[in-house]
Structures are given as C-alpha cells and as structure tokens.
Copies of this chain bind each other. A is one copy, B any other.
C-alpha cells in the first residue's frame, strides 16, 4: 500500500455512476409519509402537484439499491466533483493523537457545501419535466446558493425564501444567489398567506426553516408550471447525497482505509445520510462494525432530546406527515449560528436508523463547536462552516479520547462546507460575545404540544 496522500482525489472516470439507496438494505423501512387530510400513506399522486416527477419516483423507491445518475447530472458533477478525501495530518499532529483522522471535504464549490449534489439532480428533473420555475427555502444559504447555481445552469427560474435572520446575518449569501439569477425573499414575507399569518402572530420573528418552507410550498402550488424543492430531510435528497459516501468508500477501498467511526453533522440529515449510505449498507449486512455518530446543536436537539413521532415538515402544517425525531413543528429554535442545523425535524431514514440503534447521536453548544472550528482552521487551513464544525468537535473529542487510551482508531468525518459566509459568527466567537442556548424541558414540551396525534 502506497503512503496515504494529504488528499485522495478520484479521477472523473471514477465518479460514481449510481446513487446508493440505503432503504433497499434496511431490515425495516421508515414509516410511510401520511397524507395530512386522510392520514393514509401518501401515494405518488399526492406528491406530484408539489414535487417533480423524477424525485417523487425516487422518494417512493425503497427497493432498488442502486439508481443510475443521468449523464447530464454526472456532467454537472464533473464541474466540482469528485471531492477530496483528506487525511488531516496537520490536525493529528496538533492534537498529538494516535488516531487517524480523515474528512470528506464538500466545500470546494461556490455554494460552499454538499448541497449542490441534490440541487443539480432536482433541477435536472424539473427541466426534464418542463417545469419552468422552482421555489425553495434556505436557512444558512448554502442550499439556496446551490439551487441558484443549478437553476441558472439548467435554465429554470428560482424563488428562494430565505430565513429572515439569516438574510440579515448573511447579506453576502443573498447577493450571491442574486448574482446567479435567483429571486430572494426574506421569510416570513407578506407575499404569501402563510407568511402574513406568521407575521401577524409574531411581528418581530426572525423566521425559521419551517416558516420559509411553508411560503415556498404555497408559492409552488399557486404558480403555474412551478414545483417546490427541498434541500434535506426527504429520501430522495439523501439518495442524491449518497454520491458523497460512494466516493468516500471508493477512496477508502483504494487505500485500504477502514473507518472505525464515521461522524457527520445532522440538521435535516442529508449530509450525514449521504456520507454513511454505502458504509451503513455494509454494516447492516454484517460486513463492518463502524460506529456512526450524528452531531447536532444543543439548541436544536431533535435526535438527542426530540420525540420519534409523526410531524409536519413545516410550521404552517401543510406538508405530508413524516415519522421522524422532532421537536414539534411549532418549535422555534434559538438563533444558533449554524443555520443549516436549525430545523425541528430529522430525515425519516436517519430517524429510523437511529431508533433501531444503528446510529448514535451527540449534541454540543455552539461556543465549544467554534473553539474546534478555529483550531481546525488554523491547523488544516480550511475555515469550516459552523454546521460542519459540529462534526469536527465530535471527531476531535474522539481523537483526544484515543490519545488518553492510546487507541489508533480511524475516524472519518464529513466536512460538509466552508465558513466564508459565516464570518460574523466567527467574529462573535473571537470577541467572546457568543452565547449558548439550551432549551429547557418546558420549552421542549411547548414544541411537543404541536405534534400531531396519529
């Protein structure tokens, strides 16, 4: 085996030809989506007014383990993929750990994160179907930027409802989306019924992903030839993100790297779900014993403190119901800087895997996360996104534990994005004005009260 380089790049010919569908391997399926009117499992026809055909088929497909990536999407991927699997030699040295640290780095594209993987796919299916306009929401702005990039590329109009507090914290994100031709509307806005309702109830609100989703859905349904796209949570998004895991596994196999633990941050779950997909399949087949860890902010702890229950995906309670770990669709998370993790629910696939004991979960407050973000930036060069820094924190904790015990474990984590648009958050950390919020049990109860009785 040759020495492991700092960065393992697959060639473009080694780009995965298929996405990996973990549901085909799961011993038990996630519970089905329910139609909120009938409380019966959703069928394709329920979803087609909202979502594009191509993704509805993928959403419903729990049997095919491998689904071919269309050539047009693979060509799009070639603009920024394969992404590197990096050996964190410098961080290992800094920590003085015997552990071997690797990270799959998804930040080297203008959207700044892994989100482009699903944006490209969903926009392609929209274009193929003749849809001329898409709507979506964005929190941290990475998903909105990714979708703006793919929409201008494939020639589809886009309206992005951006969580108001994020649009204020990150004006550059908004400009970036506009530069790529998207229309950006701070949410809640007065352009939709659901926005006006939320504004009437909470005039000063900074918004939330749940609110922005409601507005985007309403606009999609009311606009001709328009559909809604979502950047996380749903099965088809995790499917598209499996390109991360497929590449990571190919790189590991090429160099004989056998991870003992794989770590990812989890907001809606697309980054972690995509990263672990093929590794989890092997685990479910008894071929490895990898420890999988989901990391979430203590301010929005859906896995670690939420309930496994049917819930709406949005605040206005208009989406199909999904069984997932959730804080309740009425839960409004505190303005943690990791906007991409500020969501009340969690991917039904990951929720099921967690519920069945195949995944562990951890949470951290943001100041301890930023401390590791800065250490990582200084050691490895790359300034991480606050979301991704949650995974760094857990990986460092494990590496430091190995330092205590002398174990040379192989720790792999997802560095899902860069923090170039998050410097206001870094500034608040540098100046020690950052505050940590952990919801009280009473606050959680208030959220749980908004859960649906099934």
Contacts and interface: CB of A to CB of B under 8 A. Distances in A.
Contact of A11 (B5, B79, B90, B108): B5
Nearest to A5: B12
Contact of A176 (B149, B153, B423): B423
Given A5-B78, A420-B420, A179 B109 contact: no
A178 B378 CA distance: 11
A363 B41 CA distance: 63
Contacts of A383: 110, 176, 179
A114 to B, nearest CB: 14
Contacts of A171: 423
A246 interface: no
Interface string A213-228: 0000000000000000
A397 B178 CA distance: 25
A282 to B, nearest CB: 28
Interface stretch (A28-36, A308-316, A342-350, A424-432): A424-432
A379 B110 CA distance: 12
Contact of A378 (B5, B13, B180): B180
B179 A382 contact: no
A298 interface: no
A377 B6 contact: no
A165 interface: no
Contact of A179 (B110, B153, B175, B430): B430
Nearest to A112: B420
Nearest to A380: B79
A382 B80 CA distance: 9
A425 to B, nearest CB: 9
A192 B426 CA distance: 29
A118 interface: no
Given A7-B12, A109-B381, A175 B79 contact: no
A80 to B, nearest CB: 6
Nearest to A384: B110
Nearest to A383: B110
A447 B153 CA distance: 45
A180 B5 contact: no
Contact of A377 (B80, B110, B172, B426): B110
27 contacts: A7-B12, A79-B381, A80-B381, A90-B153, A110-B377, A110-B382, A110-B383, A110-B418, A110-B420, A149-B378, A149-B381, A152-B378, A153-B379, A153-B381, A172-B420, A172-B424, A175-B424, A175-B427, A175-B430, A176-B383, A176-B423, A176-B426, A178-B430, A179-B374, A179-B423, A179-B426, A420-B421
